[in-house]
């Protein structure tokens, strides 16, 4: 049955639509932190639909909210008042930390970043954007145009002029050998030098932790230091929280808060986990930025009632059960366990991350050279052991990504770590 489905997939879908595994997997259902395939095999899910299943599979509170809302009305567009949308916007505006915030809902993180770029360029009357090397911001024409990761940039054409800044990757590049303070100072000097050679940009867009880039991050405080430079010049700061938001990093509710010395970002984007699998994205911005557009606009599917009901139920569950605290506690145990394993595996260059957002970088032993074949082999071995993980990285996709639902318990963390240990030790 799976082979038949794979053949049908290949006959009607694009060749560039990636599938994991030599024998691709059809997931039929899930519960909690587990999913099952079409053959009845059970897996511990440490990737959650690319960080979208934030709380748990088939979370009763979310499925109940979706079912009840579907029985009333599913969709009406933004042309009509929408109570669930207003209620979720109120919660997110308050949680964002942005003063006098306005919220616009989209259907994905790509569309959210696209909207943020539209707002920033319209507000600043500039089409120049600063972005981070090794970054990823989505699949649309404008988002691809600012993505600093060649593996996810199919065209060099763009409606924007993009300038790339150092700092998103702590352990690679020309400043890797410096101390954290010196690293930040060197990146700020690089930014200042760059700004001296270009017309004023509209904004800097940055992921506090780079997701597709392999869960890499700068030292805490880098974006606060950048913020000082940007604010002096009126340049906006867009925090892309599509993967880092909602407490996943454990230490903070938003990734930007690790760099919050100089206040919140001007614009923040979100998506993925808030819907727990439902299609929700969005933008939060100060009112004068959000309201700067001088033409009509609506969103046909952004903020539709059924997704907003799911988002409200999911957010309530997240806060009431302190899943941020759980991510900090269980994630801390998991990362230390994985570091202990990696110390005996020469192919592991680094185990990094925070909370339940952990990257394991695979290289050829004794070098910094990426080893995507070995990373893919570990992915396969983990599946054979009953564990699903992801992969990414700006260096030939050689980083394994570990991002379970935030309700992961200690026993499941230990189980997943044991499977990963066996998979890593299987490396020839």
Read off the pLDDT of residues 247-303 as tens digits, 9 standing for 90 and up: 999 999 999 999 988 899 999 999 999 999 999 999 999 999 999 999 989 999 999
Identify the helix (H) or strand (E) that includes residue 203: strand 203-206
Read off the pLDDT of residues 163-198 as tens digits, 9 standing for 90 and up: 999 999 999 999 999 999 999 999 999 999 999 999
Average pLDDT over the chain, rounded to whole? 96
| pLDDT confidence of residue 370 | 93
User: What is this structure's pTM?
Assistant: 0.95
| pLDDT confidence of residue 152 | 82
Collapsed DSSP state (helix, strand, coil) of residue 384: helix
Residue with tokens 């691709």: 24
Q: Alpha-carbon distance 35 to 48, whole Å?
A: 9
**6 Cβ contact list (under 8 Å, min separation 6):** 19, 24
Q: Would you say residue 155 has pLDDT above 90?
A: no
Per DSSP, 301 falls in state S
Q: Would you say residue 79 has pLDDT above 70?
A: yes
| pLDDT confidence of residue 394 | 77
Angle, CA of 382, 388 and 394, to the nearest 5°: 90
Buried b (16+ CB within 10 A) or exposed e, 220-252: bbbbbbbbeebeeeebbbbbbbbbbbbbbbbbb
In the chain, what are the domains?
A: 2-58+322-425 (3.90.1150.10), 64-320 (3.40.640.10)
Q: Which two tokens stand for residue 49?
A: 């639909």
Residue 367 confidence class, pLDDT cut points 50, 70, 90 = very high
Q: Report the pLDDT averaged over residues 218-237.
A: 97
Q: Which residues pair with 350 in a beta bridge?
A: 361
Q: Would you say residue 428 has pLDDT above 70?
A: yes
Which of residues 203 and 295 earns the better pLDDT score? 203
Q: Residue 83, Cβ neighbours under 10 Å: how many?
A: 10
Per DSSP, 150 falls in state G
| pLDDT confidence of residue 206 | 98
Which CA distances in Å does 355 have to 215, 237, 241, 387, 418? 11, 24, 15, 19, 18
Q: Would you say residue 397 has pLDDT above 80?
A: no
User: DSSP readout, 160-189?
Assistant: SEEEEES-S-SSSSTTTTS-HHHHHHHHHH
Identify the helix (H) or strand (E) that includes residue 11: helix 2-12
Q: Report the pLDDT averaged over residues 132-160.
A: 89
Q: Residue 98, Cβ neighbours under 10 Å: how many?
A: 25
Q: Report the pLDDT averaged over residues 365-371.
A: 93
């Amino acid at each position: 049955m799976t082979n038949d489905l794979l053949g049908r997939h290949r006959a009607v879908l694009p060749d560039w639509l990636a599938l994991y595994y030599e024998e691709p997997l059809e997931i039929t259902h899930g519960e909690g932190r587990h999913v099952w395939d079409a053959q009845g095999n059970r897996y511990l899910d440490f990737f959650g639909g690319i960080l979208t299943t934030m709380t748990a599979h088939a979370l009763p509170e979310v499925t109940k909210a979706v079912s009840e809302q579907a029985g009333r009305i599913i969709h009406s567009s933004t042309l009509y008042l929408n109570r669930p949308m207003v209620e979720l916007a109120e919660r997110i505006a308050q949680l964002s930390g942005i003063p006098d915030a306005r919220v616009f809902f989209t259907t994905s993180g790509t569309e959210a970043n696209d909207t943020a770029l539209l707002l920033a360029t319209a507000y600043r009357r500039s089409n120049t954007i600063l972005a981070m090397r090794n970054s990823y911001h989505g699949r649309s024409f404008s988002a691809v145009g600012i993505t600093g990761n060649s593996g996810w940039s199919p065209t060099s054409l763009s409606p924007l002029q993009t300038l790339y800044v150092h700092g998103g990757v702590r352990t690679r590049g020309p400043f890797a050998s410096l101390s954290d303070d010196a690293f930040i100072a060197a990146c700020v000097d690089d930014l200042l030098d760059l700004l001296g050679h270009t017309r004023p940009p509209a904004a800097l867009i940055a992921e506090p932790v780079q997701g597709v880039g392999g869960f890499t991050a700068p030292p805490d405080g880098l974006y606060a230091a950048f913020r000082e430079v940007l604010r002096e010049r009126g340049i906006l700061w867009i925090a892309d929280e599509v993967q880092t938001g909602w407490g996943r990093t454990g230490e903070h509710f938003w990734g930007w808060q690790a760099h919050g010395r100089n206040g919140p970002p001007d614009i923040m984007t979100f998506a993925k986990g808030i819907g727990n699998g439902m299609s929700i994205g969005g933008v939060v911005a100060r009112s004068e930025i959000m309201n700067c557009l001088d033409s009509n606009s609506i969103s046909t599917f952004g903020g539709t009632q059924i997704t907003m009901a799911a988002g409200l139920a999911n957010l309530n569950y997240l806060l009431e059960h302190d899943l941020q605290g759980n991510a900090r506690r269980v994630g801390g145990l998991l990362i230390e366990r994985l570091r202990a394993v990696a110390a005996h595996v020469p192919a592991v260059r680094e185990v990094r991350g925070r909370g339940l957002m952990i990257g394991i970088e695979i290289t050829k032993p004794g070098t910094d050279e990426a080893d995507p074949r070995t990373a893919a082999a570990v992915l396969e071995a983990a599946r054979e052991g009953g564990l699903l993980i992801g992969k990414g990285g700006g260096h030939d996709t050689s980083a394994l990504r570990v991002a379970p639902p935030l309700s992961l318990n200690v026993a499941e963390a230990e189980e997943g770590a044991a499977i990963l240990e066996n998979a890593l030790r299987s490396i020839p």
